[in-house]
């Protein structure tokens, strides 16, 4: 990515859980909507870029966009496929990537006496979107998977994601170390 263009962004479609934290989780029915978030990939400062994404997500999660999108999705689901698909493509044509985060338990889990060490997610890209990224966590382990169409080099994208994550960890560690030195 060319970091010399701070206004460059990728538009991401991100699912959001519409259930209240107080709702009982008695069924596996979906109650999800989606948000469109502009990822500031042109911002050269990793920490600032992350802060911008956190701020955009917080604003979007409290906006009416999620309610509107949920209603629109329900209406579209009732339409015949021949009508629904072109409308869906129109909405997703302005999206560069679909991203989901599946947060697992923070405690260790076991299945048949064996420790579960990783969870793997899969997010097929919606129509007209080239990339789907699933971020999963279980315990202290973070996993990332990508699903792409043929226009994207998936191994190269995964390598770039891993490199950026490692660089972000190093930036955060440097900030924490500097803060620790200030308090000594």
**Span 89-139, pLDDT tens digits:** 888 888 999 999 888 888 888 899 998 888 888 898 888 899 999 999 888
pTM over 0.85: no
Q: Per-residue confidence at 28, pLDDT binned at 50, 70, 90?
A: low
Residue 161: predicted pLDDT: 93
* Domains in the chain: boundaries: 1-78, 97-152, 154-184
Give yes or no for residue 32 having a pLDDT over 90. no
CA proximity to 17, closest of 73, 64, 70, 81: 70
What pLDDT, on a 0 to 100 scale, did the predictor assign at position 91?
84
Collapsed DSSP state (helix, strand, coil) of residue 156:
helix
If pLDDT is split at 50, 70 and 90, which confidence band does 25 have? Answer: low
Q: What is the pLDDT of residue 55?
A: 94
Q: Which residues of 112-141 are buried (b: 16+ CB within 10 A; e: fewer)?
A: eeeeeeebebebebeeebbbbbbbbbbbee
Radius of gyration of the chain (CA): 19
CA-based nearest residue to 143, from 151, 134, 152: 134
- Looking at residue 157, its pLDDT comes to 94
């Amino acid at each position: 990515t060319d970091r010399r263009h701070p206004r460059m962004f990728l538009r991401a479609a991100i699912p959001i859980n519409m259930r209240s934290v107080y709702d009982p989780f008695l069924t596996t029915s979906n109650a999800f909507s989606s948000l469109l978030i502009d990822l500031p990939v042109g911002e050269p400062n990793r920490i600032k870029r992350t802060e911008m994404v956190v701020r955009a997500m917080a604003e979007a999660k409290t906006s009416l966009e999620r309610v509107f999108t949920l209603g629109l999705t329900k209406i579209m689901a009732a339409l015949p496929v021949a009508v629904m698909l072109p409308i869906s493509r129109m909405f997703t044509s302005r999206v560069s990537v679909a991203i989901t985060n599946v947060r697992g338990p923070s405690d260790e889990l076991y299945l048949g006496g064996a420790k579960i060490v990783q969870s793997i997610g899969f997010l097929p890209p919606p129509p007209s979107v080239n990339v789907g990224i699933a971020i999963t966590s279980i315990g202290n382990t973070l996993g990332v998977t990508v699903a792409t169409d043929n226009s994207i080099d998936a191994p190269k994208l995964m390598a770039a994601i891993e490199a950026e994550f490692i660089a972000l960890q190093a930036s955060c560690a440097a900030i924490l170390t500097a803060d620790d030195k200030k308090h000594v």
